[in-house]
Amino acid sequence: MSQVVKIRSAFSVDPAQAALAALLRAGLRAAEEARRANTYMVVEENGKVMHESPQEYLRKRSEQSPPSSSKTSA
Please state the three-class secondary structure of the chain as a single string: CHHHHHHHHHCCCCHHHHHHHHHHHHHHHHHHHHHHHCCCEEEEECCEEEEECHHHHHHHHHHHCCCCCCCCCC
Which of the pair, 13 or 24, is modelled with greater confidence?
24
Tell me the pTM: 0.59
Q: What confidence category does residue 72 fall into, taking pLDDT thresholds of 50, 70 and 90?
A: very low
The reported pLDDT for the residue numbered 63 is: 87
Residues 6+ apart with CB under 8 A from 31: 41, 54, 57, 58, 61
Q: What is the pLDDT of residues 20-66, one digit of tens each?
A: 899 989 999 999 999 999 999 998 889 999 999 999 988 988 888 66
